[in-house]
Structures are given as C-alpha cells and as structure tokens.
Structure 1
C-alpha cells in the first residue's frame, strides 16, 4: 500500500494527489496546470451542458463515514445553473438509495455530468444547500472538464416516469453473490466515489469519477476483493490521491439494459508495485477495493441504454482484461466485446 508522507502542499492539489503526481514525475507541471483547470465556478460551456443531461452521477458520505456512489435520473432540465457558483438539482429524496443519506443540507457532495452518447463529461464538487426534499443547490468548490477516454457510446431512453419509484425493493447482500460477480466481471463502465478531509479550510472534499475498460477489466477475487487497473489519464490523480489519504470508497455498477444498480462501499488501496501491472496491457498502476456493504437495487433507474454498434472507445485497444493475464479469472462473455 502506498502512503504519502512529507509532501508539501502546492497549487490547487491536496497531499495525496501531489504524492502520486510526484511519483509520476509530473508534479511541477500539474502545479501550474491546476491553477488553470480547477475552477471555483462553472464556465458557460458547462452551465449549458448540465441542463441537457437525463441523469447525474453523485458521490456522498453517510453519517458513518461510508462513501457511496449512485446514479439518479430525471427529465433533461432537472440540472441548471442560476449563476456561475451554483448548480441547482431537482431530485426527490430516495430512501432506497444508500447515497441519499449523505445528501443533507450543509454536506459535501460530488457530481459527474456525463453524456454516454457524446463522451462529454464535467466533474464538480461542493456543498449542498437544500431548498426542500425535492430541490437542492450545490455551492461550487471545484469544477473541471475531463477527457473522453474509455467512455463507451450508448443511447438512452426513459421507460417510466422518473418520479416513480422502483417497483422492487433494495436487496442488501452479505457478500458478492454469483449475480453480482457476473455484473462486475462483465462491466465496461463503473463509477467511483472517494473523499478527503484534509483541506486547509478543514472542509470535506468529495469526488466521483468514471472508470471504463474492456469487459473483464475488473477482477473479483475469491476473497471478494476487486482489483482494477489504472490506465493513462489526465494525471490529476483525484480518485487515487483520495485513496492515499483516506481508503473510504464507494462504487456503483449500472446494468444499462435493466436499470439495476449494484452499489458497494468499502476500502481502497493503491498498488504502485506489482508484477501484475506489467502483465496487464495499459495498466500504469492498480488499486484494490474491499467491499464492506453491498446493495443491489433492481430497476432503480427509469433509463435504459442501447450500446452503439461503433460504441467502443478507441483507447481500449491498448488495454487488457484479467482473462488475458496469467492467473486471471477468465474472460467475461459479451456479444460486443472489443
């Protein structure tokens, strides 16, 4: 496990991010870049982007300090920016969603706006200012764009009124059963929430981000621990930098064809040295996730997505999957594997 020590704060990044940037040899470049790309407001392009979205990815922290990631949907227009420092979110409370417990007034929250049909995305974190159980504002702390790497193209449609609750109850799992393992092993996309509390002003900072790869890029070990390769990216190390300082992590896997969500909260660790890194195509490092709580939510989303015929990210051609690595668990089956 990698631990940051004696890292001096510079620019806009926290100690965990700087530690990994230093390890990668890009700390000086990132110190300068951070001042330009990490904004405390929404630029016009992003203010116009959010109202187009039919869903939002959210990251929150419950009263016990557990990080949760979730997807919530509504008709386009449910997200809007009344001013450059605010994003308004029109979503009703959902007690079936474990992430909802962290969405109280005054709590830190993270959002990822992502269009799966265009590969556009924007990340934002800030503080909740609740108007009611149906509307809250996010006072922006940080907003920044992300590149389109590793995003698969999918087209969406609504299958029910987004205000209507799922007709099947949440299922707590004591461990990853066969169905849950199959969802993870076959996934080409998931989302991860993480957070730190060491900001200079003492405030919590939550992040939620996208991870994509070829089906089979997430390995489920016999002990239930997930192992995930970290591919070449923007070198910000927002997520892995959070892991360095705080292992509390939340994952969410969406079944794009059924609308089901598999939500997990637990602990993550960064692996910078391992023979498996060199043997996994495209991996620059690894991280492992140990689930502590698991929730399966059938039909949680009112959306369904259809994979495009040309939907695979071209960046996946340089990446592998655990079935191609000696000692892996075998390839996940898929009718549209790249």
Structure 2
C-alpha cells in the first residue's frame, strides 16, 4: 500500500521528489521492531499530536521515568500517565478512538522515531495501536545532555490569543519546535529545528519559518495541503516551561524556498510543565545559516 496520501504526493511532485519519497517510504510500516522498542523504553519524554474536542490541533509534551513509554506488542505501545493538568489534550487522550501522532526524540543521541495510530484509554494512561512506524535522520536535531530532573511543580496554566513579549522571546530564541498536523488517514507529530532565529514572529498572532530540505516524505506539508489545522509546541529546555499554540498553517513555494506561515488561534503557556532539565545545545552541523530578509 502507498504510505502517502494525495496531499504528500502533490508536494512530492511539485518539488520533483517522488522517486526519493518512494524509496524512503519503504521504511514506513506498522510493526515495532526490537531496536525501536528498545529505543522507546529509554526515553523520558514523548510528544503527542492530536485534535481536541473542538477540532483544534495541539502538540503536547509527556514525560516520565524511562519505561513510561513501552512497546507491548508488535503494533502497540502503552504510555503510563498523561499530559500535565490543564493540557489541551488531556480529554482527547482519555477518549476512545482519538487519532494521534507521536514522536519520541532523544537529544542525547540525536535520534527520533515516529508512531502514528489510534489511542485507547487504559487504567494507567493510554495505548496506541500503530498504523505507521518509522524513524527519521538526525538532520536539524540539536544535541543536549540531560541533567537531573527538577522537583519544581508545574505552574498555573496561562491562556491567551496573542503572544506576550516573553512568549515572543521564547519563540525567537528557539532552536527546536514540534508541529502536529492531520489528514483523513490520521494525525502526525513532527519536528523542526535550526539555528535560533529560524522562526520569525511577524505579529502577535503570526509566525513564519523556512522549511528546510528533509527526508522527501512531506508528511507535514502534505497534510497542510488539505487541512490547515496545526498545533505547535515550544519548550524552554532549561526550565521545562512549555508554550503550545493552535491555529492554521499554510506553506508557500517560491524561488527562495518553502516558507510556512502559522496564524495563532490560542496559546497555552505552562511554567515548569516538564521536570526534565537539559543542557545548552550543540547545534546540528546541518543547520543552514539564517536567511536574509527579502
């Protein structure tokens, strides 16, 4: 079966990368191999993308002691616990049949694995029946060391529609963010990385970023071809504070490359949402220099 829907195929054809995508697409399957199961069992965090009851897309960060995410069969993972209190996806992850995209990313080794499927609540958290399982290359992943977890409790959730000056600073200084998108065949969670400044805050309600060359799958851009809903997650790696944005995204294709513009509908900031504390980054050698303004 073709691992790509017509949105991804449209982008691949537009950019002349269908042949490369066909080759890479052979790595997409339903099975969780032993090496993937071992990788999952070592991870202290998992990014989950899904839609809330109102249909808005969000990307959320889940954390726990290694083993809180584990493979329980060749096509199934179990997650102990869930998102922090007040997280926009708390209800969705407790609802039978939620389509989810998950991303396990390890900054220590610059490895990542994606697993998309359908969630089912369990007494200890939730499980995901896998429909797509695959790994991506380490391009644009920053290396970080993991420090001892901090016992600081999560702060009060702060919601809004426009970006405050502090949130703009967090975004402009970010070298990594996560994006959740969706299509008729399910949800997906992906990663974007670059040198600080690769995300531009163009107004209190809009962001833009250059879409760097990647694995030629175009799963995110393919989803956006037919459904503009998207959810972004920014993480302050040193404090554990998260910033979640939901809204719509649109990609444009021009002589200077691909640019994605994101319009914010709502923001959720949670101080110290994650107990994990990470070192300053060792930037990926693949990160391009920042593009000069047009």
Give the TM-score, by structure 1 length.
0.83
In structure 2, C-alpha distance between the alignment counterparts of 1:101 and 1:117, rounded to whole Å: 31
| 2:161 is aligned with 1:178 | no
Offset at residue 325 of structure 1 (A): 2.3
In 1, Cα distance between the equivalents of 2:179 and 2:163?
Answer: 17
Taking the aligned partners of 1:119 and 1:270, their CA distance within structure 2 comes to: 27
Equivalent position of 2:252 in the other structure: 271
Q: Secondary structure at the match of 1:69?
A: strand
Does residue 304 (structure 1) correspond to residue 282 (structure 2)? The answer is no
1:192 aligns with one of 163, 169, 179: 179
User: 1:221 aligned to 2:202?
Assistant: yes
| Aligned structure 1 segments of 4 or more residues deviating by more than 4 angstroms | none
Deviations 1:234-293 (A, max 9, x none): 0100111111110000001000111100100000001012xxx62xxxxx3111000001
How do residues 57-96 of structure 1 correspond to structure 2 at under 5 angstroms? 57-92=47-82, 94-96=84-86
Conserved? CA contact 2:71–2:78, under 8 Å: yes
Paired residue for 1:148? 138
Task: Name the CA distance, whole Å, in 1 between partners of 2:136 and 2:11.
Answer: 18
Q: Give 1:26 deviation, angstroms.
A: 1.9
Output the CA distance in 2 between the equivalents of 1:165 and 1:125: 30
Question: Which residue is equivalent to 1:335?
Answer: none
Q: Work out whether 1:54 is the aligned partner of 2:11.
A: no
Q: Which runs of 5+ in 2 are unaligned?
A: none
Conserved 8 A contact 2:113-2:135: yes
1:111 to 93, 102, 106: 102
- Specify whether residues 258 and 93 from structure 1 end up closer, same or farther in structure 2 by C-alpha distance, changes over 3 A only: closer
Determine if contact 2:62/2:82 at 8 Å carries over to the other structure.
no
- Name the residue aligned to 2:111: 120
**Contact 1:155-1:305 at 8 Å conserved across structures:** yes
How far has the Cα of 1:223 moved from its partner?
Answer: 5.2
Q: Deviations over 1:153-181 (max 9, x none)?
A: 111134345xx851x21001231010010
Rounded Cα–Cα distance in structure 2 between residues aligned with 1:32 and 1:76: 33
The 3 A distance-change label for structure 1 pair 93 and 153 is closer
Alignment check: 8 A CA contact 1:21 1:27 kept:
yes
What is the DSSP-based 3-state SS (H/G/I as helix, E as strand, rest coil) of the residue aligned with 2:61? Answer: strand
The residue number in structure 1 matching 2:285 is 314
User: Quick check: which one's strand share is greater?
Assistant: 2
**Matching residue of 1:4:** none
SS in 2 for 1:315: coil
Deviation by residue 1:102-147 (Cα, 9 ceiling, x = unmatched): 2122111111011001101001101112222x32211000001100
- Where structure 1 has 5 or more consecutive residues not aligned to the other structure, the ranges are 1-9, 200-204, 279-283, 327-338
Aligned length: 293
Q: Secondary structure at the match of 1:181?
A: helix
Structure whose CA Rg is larger: 1
3-state SS of paired residue (1:113): strand
RMSD (Å) for aligned C-alpha atoms: 1.7
- The match for 1:243 among 224, 229, 240 is 224
**1:212 aligned residue (170, 189, 193):** 193
Partner deviation per Cα, 1:163-206 (whole Å, 9 max, x = no partner): x851x210012310100100011111100000012x3xxxxx11
| Contact residue 95 and residue 101 of structure 1 kept, 8 A | no
Aligned residue in 2 for 1:286: 259
Tell whether the 8 Å contact from 2:29 to 2:134 is kept in structure 1 after alignment. yes
